[in-house]
Structure 1
Amino acid sequence: MSQDHQRDCIEVLIEKARDGQINRRTFIQAMGLLAAVPLALRSGISWSADKPMVVVNWGGDALNAFKSAWTDTFTKNTGIQVRIDGAGPTEGAIRSQLASGKPSWDVVDLESYSAIVLGKENILQPLDYNVIKRDQVAPALSSDHGIASYQFSYVMAWDSEKFGENGPKTWADFWDVKKFPGKRTLYKWMNGMLEAALLADGVAPDQLYPLDVPRAMKKIDEIKPHVLSFWSSGAESQQLMVDGEVSVGAIWHTRAKLLSEDTDNRVRWSFDNGFINSSSWAVLTGNPAGTQPAMQFIQEALQPAGQLKLFELLGNGPSNSATEKLMSPAQLQANCASEANLKKQIALNAQWYADHYSKALEEYLTHLSK
């Protein structure tokens, strides 16, 4: 190798490192092969090992769960340190990051429809599907700017002391307060609730989208006098049912599972006629750790071993169906995304939510406040 060519190779490595295309470990190894380690150490590159990549989720138990399932393994494999921030990656918070001119977040765990919305605004980077293997998830679970990190469901749970094993099975049952008397709880932030109302009103599952929002609101008005609370957090929905304040609830399946365990199966639930949704990984435009490490992290987080770990910790369904091969029969039964349970549920339409969420939510919340 000539001196000029070696110098050119070194320059290429430095450029790749500064762009985030290679990590610190790879850079040092490559420079070692070029006998240029001293130059590597004074190259002036700010490494993520010195300044961790920041992955933002919604806090709570997910902080430690993400670390155990994903970031520890990623750091071990790449040498890149990762910090989990539980600040909550709302669309507004992500926009504020970009508006500051110096975003401090790298990877975010956000609503799948938000990835579509923010991607169109160039607030999120297009995902590099040369690094991330898009076919690891079902086609509906990825977009240009987001790919599913995990899945979760909205399900019906009921108090067996009031209804025995024959609790409500359909959303028409949920609305039937004569057959299933008692107070209800529904989700404050709308997802899945418009669909539930329309099904209760006789709309066929394959005719749900585009959602008829006025019709759904009218149906929600029917049951509103029987709704004790529109829950805004999983803990709130769980407490309402533990205390027996509500007879039937539309809640996350992860909370329903905990309720069944905590009440010695007094609270029962089913995936029947549930709504399955996904959260997505996305990368902020101009993220400080660089594009390549962020894409590498997402690819690592899609691996079955880590997805199984998250399921074991939180109950979230894997987005990579290959994870099912690692699951026991009992785990498959509790997995919202297993083949058997998917057949019982309806998938929320991320594109509809991307196009209509803000306006529909405003109308929904207005109805709740009346």
Structure 2
Amino acid sequence: MRSILLLTTTLAVTTYAASAQEVNVVSWGGAYEVSQVEAYNKPFTAETGIKVNMIAADNPATPLKAQFEAKNITGDVFDIEVSDAIRLCDEGALLEIDPADLPAAPDGTPAAEDFIDGALLDCAVANIFWGTVIAFDTTKFEGNAPSTAADFFDIETYPGKRGLPKNPKRTLYLALIADGVAPDEIYDKLSTDEGVEQALAKLDTIKDEIVWWEAGAQPVQLLADGEVTMATGYNGRFFDAMVAEGRPFEIIWDGQYMDMDMFVIAKDSPNPEEAMEYLKFATDTQRLADQAKYIAYGPSRKSSAALVGMYQDGKTEMGPHMPTNPEHMSTAVMDDPEFWADHDAELSERFNAWLAG
């Protein structure tokens, strides 16, 4: 009997080790993925022995929704935006996450008190704050550099093509900011027909000069190739191009659009236990601070802020490059996930009709 029990236990352990010692993480690729591999994945594997398979997507919410609808989940942890996390949680695609299961801060502060407001949802845990910002090629505007969102729309003073994302969320707001609307009035405006028309009319002034992008790496490449002189894009991507690659770019922080990225676990994921271990590890205080060594995104935990120091080059102070730097917040527009959960379909339809017109 004892030998049978030992054999059964051995087989169970062997089967678990052979089949479950990995986790599939779907993220955004590029410099952002590199920061996650260095700050999260390598130390996680070193500590647990669990292999991390990184899978890049232009928007990880898209394959997550497709896999859920097809009842064929292949990813475990997905890195998605807040509005997508809310919608997919409501649709039953995600596992609920108890904040009590997350690691406390080093001083013992519970996770529920340590994460920044809005960073914990029923099915999601935020890892970073990031901004959509304007960047320009300094060699194109020597002696007369743009500095505001309005300058992005001033083709006469600052000539050249403009790179913009092909979606309403990070395009309509910028047009309103450039047209003089205050950051705290953006969503009130976009909830009215008149406000949407105002934004589209502003976009009309540069429509012929716009090069549309759909993936995070594209605006950096558009600038680098000289196809545009200004582009909006993710601040961490521009930082990587400027500091790691030495590109002659500069960021305009006026009217940045601030958002969070969140880790979620797909319901019926192939490795749910490993997925939860990864999520807990990657969102502890030290790991979130470590990510800031590799990319200019702000950690979502209060206790991480004091641990953010230098870039991996050992000479670039990260604070001035963070979207959460107080100097960058005065004209920032914070993402309103509830607004977009309610209005995304409607505004996408109007935006696409404008594009086709």
Query: What TM-score does the superposition give when structure 2 sets the normalisation length?
Result: 0.81
Closer/same/farther in 2, CA of residues 76 and 267 from structure 1, 3 Å limit? closer
Distance in 1, Cα, partners of 2:146 & 2:84: 32
For residues 164-175 of structure 1, the aligned pairs below 5 Å read: 164=142, 167-175=145-153
Distance in 2, Cα, partners of 1:262 & 1:58: 19
Matched, 1:111 2:81: yes
For residues 34-53 of structure 1, the aligned pairs below 5 Å read: 39-43=8-12, 47=16, 50-51=19-20, 52-53=22-23
Q: In the alignment, which residue of structure 2 is the partner of 1:256?
A: 238
Distance in 2, Cα, partners of 1:89 & 1:263: 24
Matched, 1:272 2:242: no
Q: In the alignment, which residue of structure 1 is the partner of 2:333?
A: 346
Q: In the alignment, which residue of structure 2 is the partner of 1:146?
A: 124
Q: In the alignment, which residue of structure 2 is the partner of 1:31?
A: none
- Structure 1 counterpart of 2:339, one-letter code: W
Matched, 1:294 2:263: no
- Contact 1:146–1:281 at 8 Å: present in 2 too? yes
Closer/same/farther in 2, CA of residues 314 and 328 from structure 1, 3 Å limit? closer
Distance in 1, Cα, partners of 2:175 & 2:75: 37
Q: How many residues align?
A: 333
Matched, 1:219 2:202: yes
Closer/same/farther in 2, CA of residues 161 and 92 from structure 1, 3 Å limit? closer
Gaps of 5+ in 1: 1-35
Q: Secondary structure at the match of 1:139?
A: coil
Root-mean-square deviation over aligned CA pairs: 2.8
Closer/same/farther in 2, CA of residues 189 and 71 from structure 1, 3 Å limit? same
Deviates more, 1:360-369 or 1:59-68: 59-68
For residues 164-203 of structure 1, the aligned pairs below 5 Å read: 164=142, 167-203=145-181
Query: What TM-score does the superposition give when structure 1 sets the normalisation length?
Result: 0.79
Q: In the alignment, which residue of structure 1 is the partner of 2:108?
A: none
Q: In the alignment, which residue of structure 1 is the partner of 2:64?
A: 94
Distance in 2, Cα, partners of 1:188 & 1:169: 23
- Structure 1 counterpart of 2:163, one-letter code: T
Offset at residue 205 of structure 1 (A):
1.0
Matched, 1:357 2:344: yes
Closer/same/farther in 2, CA of residues 299 and 50 from structure 1, 3 Å limit? same
- Structure 1 counterpart of 2:206, one-letter code: I
Gaps of 5+ in 2: 103-110, 311-316
- Contact 2:99–2:120 at 8 Å: present in 1 too? no
Offset at residue 201 of structure 1 (A):
2.1
Q: In the alignment, which residue of structure 2 is the partner of 1:326?
A: 307
Closer/same/farther in 2, CA of residues 194 and 107 from structure 1, 3 Å limit? same
Between the aligned residues of both structures, percent identity stands at 26
For residues 24-103 of structure 1, the aligned pairs below 5 Å read: 39-43=8-12, 47=16, 50-51=19-20, 52-87=22-57, 90-103=60-73
